[in-house]
Structure 1
Amino acid sequence: MALDVYVGSLTRYYAGAWENLAETTARKLGAPRPAGSGKLIDATQSQDQIRPKVIAWRTKLAKALGERVDALLDWDETEAARWFTHRPGWDGFGSLVIWAAYAENPTLRAPETLPEEWDDDIALARSTADGFRSRYSHLVRNVEMWLPVAFEITFEGDDVDGRRVVMGSVTTLRRQLADLNAATWKASADEIAAWGQMPPERRTVEGCARYAFSLLTDLAQRAHAERLPMKLDH
């Protein structure tokens, strides 16, 4: 199953008025849309219908969080809001999560390639254990949506469709990604950008992690600059 990361209004996301990279490529080549794709290309009316639901969800979420998040949950949900997407894939995203877990558990030896059941990895289990203060909490704690607001906690709640997901902060994710680079690769901005030009030929944990790191760093920067949510799509 593919894994894409979307940045933009949640209205556009739930209306399906965006394309992942496979859909964009198929459209440009005049090929049929990839199997399983139900997204719309022009969904102006659908966005008008969905927007009130998103705004109501955001208001309810703010009330539920109360003082746990000392920031206003507010961002652009109009059709004018820009949107962006990349496809790190599960190999890339999983490798990045594992790389972060081993970075803060240095007594453990990281695997060369991503295990099939990587979410059961011992270092990841330590990083997500109760009471462990992870330096990379907004990456390793199974977060599926990052809100464009500054806060330190991660929390579980209903998304717009009522599905339980873990949410975090775009601001904190950006900082933690920078911390991960400083603790491990110490790569320059140009080097990081180059990592995302194409998936690595050798599917090592570090190679795939670098690729996903480049894509997520770019998207988190865009989400921060545009003040928009960032969300996994799978």
Structure 2
Amino acid sequence: MGLDIYAGTLTRYYTHNWKTSVQQFAEKNGIKCKVIRQNVGDIPSPEIVLSDVNEWKEQLLKTIIPEDKKPYPKWNEDYDITPYYTNKPDWCAIGALMLYYVCHLYHQEFPKTIEKNYDFFKNELIQRAMDDNQIYSSLIKGGGWWAPIDDEYLFQFPLMGVNKMMIFGTVGQLHKELHQINQFEWMASQEEIIEWSKTEGYPTDITYHEGAVIDKNIHSTYDTLSLAKFAFSILWQAKEFSFEHRVFIIYDY
């Protein structure tokens, strides 16, 4: 199961009025692509979804924003006006970033390479961090949803339309954590960070030209630091996009 990062309005997200980076690549290169989503039934009209989202949003803000801090922070919601950002780190890159984070927190050695499809959530250090009450991190303990709020904190709230509590982060909290990670040793500028989404990440397994495969070399191991920088860049850009457009960031999988 893959992982995409989406930053945009919830109304656009829930009505599936957006295309993943894989869909966009496929369209550009004349490749057939079909996205299969779990538990997707009939999608209500944009008007109904927008109404539901605004009601959920109002309840969420009433729950987490103290009365003395009103007015509520700006939060855009529409079907097709506010743009969106998306990219595909997949779980290996996100897991590599999590491992990089916790290795520095616990002063442990960060592995140079990792096996393809390695399950980072079974990693001893990551599991330790998840259970550690001294670690306050949306990347480690959150559910992959960040609300467009500048204040730095985590909170519990049910997902819209689902009777299930989840740990949300704020975009302000994500910014704080990414800044901390960058300060460990990279000290990278914004320009360098953005470039990592193009220069770092997974090695090329298959090369296409005009819709046809021209080269194939399947890799079994990955450079762990390169994966971590790749995921970091994507999350950084999603965070900057969220600050600019006042929208949610979501792990889509």
| Counterpart Cα distance in 1 of 2:202 and 2:140 | 22
Could you say which residue in structure 1 is the equivalent of 2:126? 124
The CA deviation string for residues 69-99 of structure 1, in whole angstroms up to 9 with x for no partner, is 9562541112311111011111111111111
The DSSP-based 3-state class of the residue aligned with 1:207 is helix
AA matched with 2:12: R
2:152–2:171 CA contact under 8 A, matched in 1: no
Alpha carbons of structure 1 residues 172 and 66: separation in structure 2 relative to 1, 3 Å: closer
| Counterpart Cα distance in 2 of 1:188 and 1:117 | 31
AA matched with 1:215: I
The DSSP-based 3-state class of the residue aligned with 2:128 is helix
| Counterpart Cα distance in 1 of 2:197 and 2:10 | 25
Aligned-pair identity in percent equals: 24
Please say if 1:77 is aligned against 2:90.
no
Q: Which stretch has the larger CA shift, 117-126 or 224-233?
A: 117-126
| Counterpart Cα distance in 2 of 1:151 and 1:121 | 30
Unaligned stretches of 5+ in structure 2? 204-220
| Counterpart Cα distance in 2 of 1:217 and 1:133 | 21
The CA deviation string for residues 128-154 of structure 1, in whole angstroms up to 9 with x for no partner, is 3343134xx122113311011023321
**After TM superposition, which residue ranges in structure 1, 4 or more long, deviate above 4 angstroms?**
68-71
| Counterpart Cα distance in 2 of 1:231 and 1:69 | 29
Unaligned stretches of 5+ in structure 1? none
When normalised by structure 1's length, the TM-score is 0.85
Could you say which residue in structure 1 is the equivalent of 2:213? none
The DSSP-based 3-state class of the residue aligned with 2:160 is coil
The DSSP-based 3-state class of the residue aligned with 2:157 is strand
Please say if 1:224 is aligned against 2:243.
yes
1:94–1:114 CA contact under 8 A, matched in 2: no
Could you say which residue in structure 2 is the equivalent of 1:206? 225
Could you say which residue in structure 1 is the equivalent of 2:234? 215
2:154–2:173 CA contact under 8 A, matched in 1: no
Aligned ranges 1:1-234 → 2 under 5 Å: 1-36=1-36, 46-65=45-64, 67=66, 72=72, 74-79=74-79, 80-106=81-107, 108-114=108-114, 116-134=118-136, 137-162=137-162, 163-198=164-199, 199-201=201-203, 203-234=222-253
Could you say which residue in structure 1 is the equivalent of 2:209? none
| Counterpart Cα distance in 2 of 1:23 and 1:69 | 45
AA matched with 1:81: T
Alpha carbons of structure 1 residues 110 and 68: separation in structure 2 relative to 1, 3 Å: farther
When normalised by structure 2's length, the TM-score is 0.79
AA matched with 2:134: F
1:113–1:204 CA contact under 8 A, matched in 2: yes
AA matched with 2:252: D
Alpha carbons of structure 1 residues 49 and 32: separation in structure 2 relative to 1, 3 Å: farther
Q: Who wins on radius of gyration, i.e. which is larger?
A: 2
The DSSP-based 3-state class of the residue aligned with 1:93 is helix
Question: What is the aligned residue count?
Answer: 226
RMSD: 2.5
Deviation at 1:114, TM superposition (A): 4.3
AA matched with 2:195: A
Deviation at 1:28, TM superposition (A): 2.9
1:99–1:209 CA contact under 8 A, matched in 2: yes
| Counterpart Cα distance in 1 of 2:68 and 2:94 | 27
Specify which structure has the higher proportion of strand: 2
Deviation at 1:111, TM superposition (A): 3.1
| Counterpart Cα distance in 1 of 2:94 and 2:167 | 16
AA matched with 1:47: P
